[in-house]
């Protein structure tokens, strides 16, 4: 029998400050009613003093504690993020320093909202080569620093936070059963932070254009997101010989409640089989799935043998799935 990766610990961390829809009503021309009906979001956590690497490290500590794994026994740290503390070093290296994970390699992975699932796929391959490997996969974002707080079409959507999972191997018939990764760079302009990279370094013109901020063609992204999420979900189901209603719990990237409802209907899932926490956190990009996974885990909603499907979609475009038997 081959080796499967299993998740032996999860953790998450969000900034202290909560920003409600009511507070956003004071900042831009919007309403709680619009935000709730269009997105399902009621509140989000916003970093004031916390950095991405601090949130990532805290989520990691909690996951390691649950797993009973000493940081010094970690082999690898992968952080999915599009909002690192700085271009160099990586968030993963800062987490490695914080945890004193002396033996671990560490790198960031840039796949926007699919970052955690891309990270899981990479970690899974490492574990398949070394059953005893211990790998930390984190999704962590501080999108609020790349949000234009005068743009009502985007500022109501995003939140900050981090989620983490510790992986190792087993010969048992459980754990990660499949991963599928996809991308379409031709559509990058629909969802982008154009500026402050090396193509458009900081200068007054770039700042005046607002290219330091996230820019999204929401309606177009929505159409692509529902199509891609449904197709990657079916791809995972077919690869494992599962029907839609066999899934015990679906973790989809929490971008919009209407997207989650659409997926639930298309897969023929009952309401309680779709994990939802978008109302509390908004869209936390790469952190969204691992935060949800940790909440479900700590709430006792993950039972051995359960069929878990995870799907994500984000800028790039990127989209991905992971199917697991818990």
Out of 39, 54, 81, 178, which residue is the one contacting ligand ACO (CB under 6 A)?
39
Out of 21, 54, 81, 283, which residue is the one contacting ligand ACO (CB under 6 A)?
283
User: Which 256-275 positions form the footprint of ligand ACO (CB under 6 A)?
Assistant: 256, 259
User: Which 115-174 positions form the footprint of ligand ACO (CB under 6 A)?
Assistant: 152-153, 156
**Is 253 among the residues known to form the active site?**
yes
User: Judged by CB under 6 A, does residue 191 bind ligand ACO?
Assistant: yes
Please pick, among 4, 21, 256, 283, the residue that the annotation labels catalytic.
283
CB of 37 to ligand ACO, least distance (A): 9
CB-based contacts of 260-266 (< 8 A; 24+ apart in sequence): 260/40, 262/226, 262/230, 263/226, 263/229, 263/230, 263/233, 263/311, 266/230, 266/233
Please pick, among 4, 52, 253, 297, the residue that the annotation labels catalytic.
253
User: Judged by CB under 6 A, does residue 112 bind ligand ACO?
Assistant: yes
Out of 145, 212, 222, 298, which residue is the one contacting ligand ACO (CB under 6 A)?
222
User: Judged by CB under 6 A, does residue 89 bind ligand ACO?
Assistant: no
User: Judged by CB under 6 A, does residue 315 bind ligand ACO?
Assistant: yes
Out of 30, 130, 170, 231, which residue is the one contacting ligand ACO (CB under 6 A)?
30
CB of 175 to ligand ACO, least distance (A): 27
User: Judged by CB under 6 A, does residue 215 bind ligand ACO?
Assistant: no
CB of 147 to ligand ACO, least distance (A): 10
**Is 113 among the residues known to form the active site?**
yes
User: Judged by CB under 6 A, does residue 52 bind ligand ACO?
Assistant: no
Out of 89, 105, 210, 218, which residue is the one contacting ligand ACO (CB under 6 A)?
218
Chain centre to alpha carbon of residue 196: 23
**Is 93 among the residues known to form the active site?**
no
Nearer to ligand ACO, 71 or 282 (CB): 282
Residue 244: C-alpha distances to residues 118, 269, 275, 277 (Å): 22, 7, 15, 21
Nearer to ligand ACO, 29 or 208 (CB): 29
Out of 63, 92, 122, 221, which residue is the one contacting ligand ACO (CB under 6 A)?
221
User: Judged by CB under 6 A, does residue 285 bind ligand ACO?
Assistant: yes
The contact set with ligand ACO (CB under 6 A) reads: 30, 34, 38-39, 112-113, 152-153, 156, 191, 218-219, 221-222, 225, 255-256, 259, 283, 285, 313-315
Question: Looking at the annotation, which residues are catalytic?
Answer: 113, 253, 283
């Amino acid at each position: 029998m081959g080796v499967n990766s299993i998740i032996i610990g999860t953790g998450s961390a969000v900034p202290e400050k909560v920003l409600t829809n009511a507070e956003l009503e004071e900042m831009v021309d919007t309403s709680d009613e619009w935000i709730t009906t269009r997105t399902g979001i009621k509140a989000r956590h916003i970093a004031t003093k916390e950095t991405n690497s601090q949130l990532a490290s805290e989520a990691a500590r909690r996951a390691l504690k649950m797993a009973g794994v000493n940081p010094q026994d970690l082999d690898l740290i992968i952080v999915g993020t599009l909002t690192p503390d700085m271009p160099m070093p990586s968030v993963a290296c800062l987490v490695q320093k914080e945890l004193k994970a002396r033996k671990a390699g560490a790198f960031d992975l840039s796949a926007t909202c699919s970052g955690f699932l891309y990270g899981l796929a990479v970690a899974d391959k490492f574990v398949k080569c070394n059953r005893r490997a211990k790998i930390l996969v984190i999704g962590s974002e501080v999108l609020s620093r790349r949000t234009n707080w005068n743009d009502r079409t985007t500022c109501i959507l995003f939140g900050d936070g981090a989620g983490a999972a510790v992986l190792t191997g087993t010969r048992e018939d459980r754990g990660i059963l499949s991963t599928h990764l996809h991308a379409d760079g031709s559509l990058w302009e629909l969802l982008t932070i154009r500026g402050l990279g090396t193509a458009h370094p900081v200068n007054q013109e770039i700042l005046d254009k607002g290219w330091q901020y996230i820019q999204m063609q929401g309606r177009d992204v929505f159409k692509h997101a529902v199509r891609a999420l449904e197709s990657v979900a079916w791809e995972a189901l077919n690869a494992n010989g599962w029907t839609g209603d066999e899934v015990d719990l679906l973790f989809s990237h929490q971008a919009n409640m209407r997207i989650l409802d659409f997926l639930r209907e298309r897969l023929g899932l009952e309401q309680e089989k779709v994990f939802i926490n978008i109302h509390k956190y908004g869209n936390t990009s790469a952190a969204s799935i691992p935060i949800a996974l940790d909440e479900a885990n700590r709430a006792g909603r993950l039972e051995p043998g359960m069929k878990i499907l995870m799907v994500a979609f984000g800028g790039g475009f990127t989209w991905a799935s992971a199917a697991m038997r818990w």
